[in-house]
Structure 1
Amino acid sequence: MKVTLEKVHGSMNTFYMVEGLERNDYAELAMQLCDRDTSVDGLLVILPSQTAHAKIRVFNRDGSEASMCGNGLRCVARYVCEKEGIREAVIETMKADLKVKKEETLTDGIEMYSVEISPISFRLEDLPMEYAELEEMILQPISEISEEILFSAVAVPNPHLIGIVPEEIQKDSTHQHFWAEKFNGQNAYFADGVNVSYVTKLEQGIFVRTFERGVGFTNACGTAMTASALISCIAGIVPFGEVTVYNPGGMVKCTVTETAGAYQLLLTGNATRISSHEYQWEKESQESDFLSSRKFEEQQQYEKFINGISGIVDQFA
């Protein structure tokens, strides 16, 4: 079967994207594509919705399905808004229908979209996580890891374990890699694995590096950056409001507000089209292949943007 794909990214969290109908083998397509192109983190599937403008399903490199993807949602938001000729839409995700909006394009032609990140839960059972019979973990050490690093667990709705670390630990990813792999293998804490992010305060905001469940280290994870901004606000590292979040793939803005004890999260960043492709998709991987490809010029503009903030990002490379 021939399918049309777009290769897209938000903060260099890169995906193939396809529009289609519900079927039970998109995980196989995701693994096929990721096997052929190691630069991508997974597959975004755009489907019809009974409750929203469209529905998104997200498949990781290993074929597992994520509840949501903030960077991918921005790319789907752009696709839907441009197709429908609108500036705002609602996209159905696994846990909630979320508002998305086209924002002002950056001066160098980078298309920007904001997406709602919800629902939010601090209950460990919602990750799920089991630790010391706790119901929540907010800014607490995990003694097996470190008495100095304060960890927080939050589902948005993807499960995240977020540690606030000094520069020296952020610059060397060995520590994070060891514990992230442990928590995504056989372990007593996270039955379904977890996204592990390390956060470091910057003069201009925060820097976040994420080991993503089902992917590994990624250039950026939208829900992780937003959850990290939330925890950083709660910890007093940055004030509530708009938080600048740097990552290995670039930079986004996360807006964190609190109303009557409830938090609202908004993620704003690029939605960049890299290329379009015709792909022959067969059940047997060896019979599948790319038939044609066409590059867009948007990536060149994004790389110019990255060069402008490289001094901040490179210090943690």
Structure 2
Amino acid sequence: MELEIIKCHGSGNDFLLIDEMSNEYTFSESERSALAISLCNRKTELGADGILFVMKSDRADGRMRVFNADGSEASMCGNGLRCVARYVCELLNKDSALIETMKADLAVRKEHDIFPEIPTYLVEISPVSFQVRELPLHISQETFVNEKLPALSEEIPFTAVAVPNPHLIAIVDNETIHSTVQKELSEYVNGPNELFPDGVNVSFVKAIQPGQIYVRTFERGVGFTNACGTAMSASTLVTCLNKLNHLEEPVEVFNNGGKVRCVAHQKENSYTIDLIGNATYVYVAKIEVNVQSPSTFTCTSKNEFSKEIAQYTKLQEEVTSYLKDVL
């Protein structure tokens, strides 16, 4: 079977996008999982953090399903949603759209460039829940906000939040951000453990100055990534709740893959978050693959988006230089 694939990324969090809206592709659940494991393998000619399947929707402009590199399905992906937002908006010749995801239909729209000549999209991150059962986190209380959990650390307070995929977030100092603590803790909660039976995304956040934070995330099913959109969104909200930043005001969120802008909103007793950042195309490729057994495949063509790559490289260089001075 011949598949056309767009390699794309949001903040360096890279994906393979497969269009089921305008192509005749159909996949079983096991085939989606197997494709993700095979095509996302970094040892192959492609390689990525996951696959974005863009599908038709009965109630929205398009539907997004996200499969991680280990074959598991994610309930949401903010960086991936920006890429899907761009693809659907350009496909339908629209500046805004509604995208169906596993837990919610989310509004997306084209936004002013976050950096010169970089396609930029705003995507809605919701629903937001602090109920530990939503992650799930097995503890004898309903919420866990800015508290210490001895099984994880005697020194670091954490906040558990679902947006809707599960996140464990800690605001830390420079020494901790450069230590091995995050790696060790993340591997524990994503292995056999009694607290998080389904695993959890773990983010360490460093406040740089008012309106600026740095976020590094260990993603469930992937490991450390350049950035995680829902993690950066959730981290922004957590810093607002800790009075380091303010609701309704933009926060520049720096990551190892670049930067985004987030705005956390409160509506009565609930929250939503705007995630604003790049949706960059790297290349379009065609592959020959047996979807029933995709362990091997052949890439028959690959055409790069050279200008987009060059512009994002400039943004990365600027961010890297800045982070060297502040971290």
Give the TM-score of the pair, scaled to structure 2.
0.93
Relative distance call for 1:182 and 1:152 in structure 2 (3 A) is: same
* 100, 112, 117: which one aligns with 1:109: 117
Within 2, Cα distance between the matches of 1:107 and 1:237? Answer: 25
The CA deviation at 1:162 is: 0.4
Q: 1:265 to 1:287 in 2, by over 3 A?
A: closer
Judge conservation of contact 1:170–1:198 (CA < 8 Å) in 2: yes
Q: Give 4+ residue runs of structure 1 displaced > 4 Å after superposition.
A: none
1:10 and 2:10 matched? yes
Identify if the C-alpha distance between structure 1 residues 48 and 151 changes in structure 2 by more than 3 Å, giving closer, same or farther: same
CA distance in 2: counterparts of 1:242 and 1:106, whole angstroms: 12
Aligned to 2:250: 242
Change (3 A) 1:18 1:94: same
Amino acid of the structure 1 residue aligned with 2:124: E
> Which residues of 2 match residues 218-237 of structure 1 at below 5 A?
218-237=225-244
Match for residue 208 of structure 2 among 202, 205, 215: 202
Number of the residue aligned with 2:301: 292
CA distance in 2: counterparts of 1:61 and 1:157, whole angstroms: 19
Displacement after TM superposition at 1:314 (Å):
3.8
Paired residues for 1:85-104 under 5 Å:
85-104=93-112
Change (3 A) 1:311 1:34: same
Please give the residue correspondences for 1:18-33 in structure 2 after superposition, counting only pairs within 5 Å.
18-20=18-20, 21-24=25-28, 25-33=31-39
Deviation of residue 257 (structure 1)?
A: 1.7
Post-superposition Cα deviations, 1:49-74, rounded to whole Å, max 9, x if no partner, equal 00100000000010000001000000
- Is this contact kept in 2: 1:60–1:214, CA < 8 A? yes
Q: State the Cα deviation string for residues 271-312 of structure 1 (Å, max 9, x = none).
A: 000000001121333542211101112011001111122223
Q: Secondary structure at the match of 2:156?
A: strand
Q: Aligned partners of 1:237, 1:167: CA distance in 2, in Å?
A: 16
Question: For 2:235, what is the secondary structure of its paired residue?
Answer: helix
1:11–1:252 CA contact under 8 A, matched in 2: yes
Letter of the 1:300 partner, please give it.
Answer: A
AA aligned opposite 1:155: A
Asked if the contact 1:250–1:313 (Cα under 8 Å) also holds between the matched residues in 2, the reply is no
1:23 maps to a residue whose letter is F
* Greater shift in the superposed pair: 300-309 or 220-229: 300-309
For these two proteins, the number of residue pairs brought into alignment is 315
Deviations 1:241-298 (A, max 9, x none): 2111111101001101223232121100000000000011213335422111011120
Match of 2:270 among 253, 259, 262: 262
Q: 1:157 aligns with which of 156, 164, 170?
A: 164
After superposition, give the CA deviation of every residue in 1:201-253 in whole Å (9 maximum; x if it has no partner): 10251110000000000000000000000111001111222111111101001
Structure 1 position 316, deviation (Å): 8.3
Any idea what the Cα deviations from partners look like across 1:143-185, whole Å, max 9, x if unmatched? 233333110000000000001111111122x110111011011
Q: Does the Cα contact within 8 Å between 2:203 and 2:231 map onto a contact in 1?
A: yes
Q: Which letter does structure 1 place at the counterpart of 2:160?
A: A
- For 1:46-57, what aligned pairs fall within 5 Å after superposition? 46-57=54-65
1:125 positional shift? 0.5
2:155 match: secondary structure: strand
Tell me what 1:171 maps to: 178
Give 5+ residue unaligned stretches, structure 2: none
Residue 191 in structure 1 maps to residue 197 in structure 2? yes
Aligned equivalents of 2:26, 2:107: Cα separation in 1: 22
SS in 2 for 1:122: coil
The separation in 2 between residues aligned to 1:286 and 1:121, in whole angstroms, is 38
User: d(CA) in 1 for partners of 2:155 and 2:80?
Assistant: 34
Match for 1:44: what amino acid? L
For 2:238 and 2:114, how far apart are their aligned partners in 1? 28
CA distance in 1, matches of 2:239, 2:19: 36
- Matched residues in 2 for 1:247 and 1:108: separation? 19
CA contact 2:254–2:260 (8 Å) conserved in 1 = yes
Give the Cα–Cα distance (whole angstroms) in 1 for the partners of residues 262 and 72 of structure 2.
26
- Residue of structure 1 aligned with 2:188, choices 182, 185, 196: 182
